[in-house]
Chains A and B, each alone.
Chain A
Amino acid sequence: MRLNNKTIRSYLFYSFLIFLLTIPLFYFVMRSLLLHEVDKSLRLQLKEIRSNLGEIHSQDELTAWSKLDKDILLSPIDEPIRDRVYSINRYSPKHEEEEPYREIAGGITVGGKMYRLVISSSLIENDDLLSSILLVQSIVLFLLICGMLWINQRISKRLWQPFYVALRNMQQFELNKQTNLSFLSSTTDEFNELNKAIGNLFSRSSEIFLQQKEFTENAAHEMQTPLAIYQSKLELLMQTSPLSEEQADLINGLDDTNRRLIKLNKSLLLLTKIENHQYQDVYDVEIGALCKRLILQSYLHAEEKNIVINGDFPERVVVRVNPVLIEILIGNLLSNAIRYNINNGMIMVRTEKNTLVIENTGASVPLPDKVFDRFYKQTGQAGTEDSTGLGLAIVKNICTLYNYTISYAFIEGRHIFRLDFHNGSARQGAGS
Chain B
Amino acid sequence: MKILIVEDEQELMKSMATYLKSENFVCEEAPDYATARQKIELFTYDCILLDVSLPDGNGLLLLNELKENKKTDGVIVISAKNSISDRIQGLNLGADDYLTKPFHLSELNARILAVIRRRHFQGQHILVFNELTIDLTAKSVTVHRTPVELTRKEYDLLVYLAYNKNRVISKNAIAEHLSGDEAEIFSNYDFIYSHMKNLKRKLQQAGCSEYIRSIYGMGYKFDV
Interface residues of A (CB under 8 A from B): 221, 224-225, 227-236, 238-239, 243, 245, 248-249, 251-252, 255-256, 259, 262-263, 266, 269, 278, 294, 297-298, 300-301, 303-304, 324, 327-328, 331-332, 334-335, 338-339, 386
Contacts and interface: CB of A to CB of B under 8 A. Distances in A.
Interface stretch (B96-104, B115-123, B202-210): B96-104
Nearest to A222: B80
B11 A229 contact: yes
A172 to B, nearest CB: 31
Interface string B77-117: 00011111000000000000000011111100000000000
Nearest to A327: B185
Contact of B185 (A228, A249, A332): A332
Nearest to B15: A232
Given A235-B106, A338-B188, A304 B194 contact: yes
A359 to B, nearest CB: 19
Interface stretch (B41-49, B125-133, B141-149, B214-222): B214-222
Contacts of A243: 168, 215-216
Interface residues of B, number: 40
B18 interface: yes
A280 B80 CA distance: 20
Nearest to B153: A300
A382 to B, nearest CB: 11
Contact of A245 (B18, B186, B216): B216
Interface of B: 9, 11-12, 15-16, 18-19, 22, 80-84, 101-106, 153, 167-168, 170, 172-173, 179, 182, 184-188, 190-191, 194, 215-219
Contacts of A300: 153, 179, 186, 191
A228 B218 contact: no
B49 to A, nearest CB: 12
A235 B105 contact: yes
Looking at A225, A262, A297, A298, the one whose CB has the most chain B CB atoms below 10 A away is A225
Nearest to A235: B105
A231 B101 CA distance: 10
A235 B188 contact: no
B105 A262 contact: no
Contact of A249 (B11, B104, B168, B218): B218
A266 B100 CA distance: 11
Nearest to B100: A224
Contacts of A269: 82
A266 B188 contact: no
Given A229-B15, A235-B105, A297-B182, A252 B217 contact: yes
Contacts of A255: 170, 172, 218
B188 A301 contact: yes
Given A233-B15, A252-B217, A331-B185, A304 B190 contact: yes
Contacts of A334: 185
A252 to B, nearest CB: 4
Given A229-B9, A236-B18, A255-B172, A335 B218 contact: no
A262 B189 CA distance: 15
Contact of A238 (B103, B217, B219): B219
Contact of B80 (A221, A249, A324): A221
A252 B217 CA distance: 8
B59 to A, nearest CB: 14
A331 B170 contact: no
B218 A225 contact: no
B101 A228 contact: yes
B145 to A, nearest CB: 31
A224 B190 CA distance: 25
B216 A228 contact: no
A301 B186 contact: yes
Given A232-B102, A269-B82, 5 more contacts: A224-B80, A229-B11, A232-B105, A248-B218, A324-B84
A236 B219 CA distance: 13
B103 to A, nearest CB: 7
24 contacts: A224-B102, A228-B12, A228-B80, A228-B101, A229-B9, A229-B11, A238-B168, A238-B170, A245-B216, A249-B216, A249-B217, A249-B218, A255-B170, A256-B172, A269-B82, A297-B182, A297-B186, A300-B179, A303-B191, A331-B184, A331-B185, A335-B185, A335-B186, A339-B188
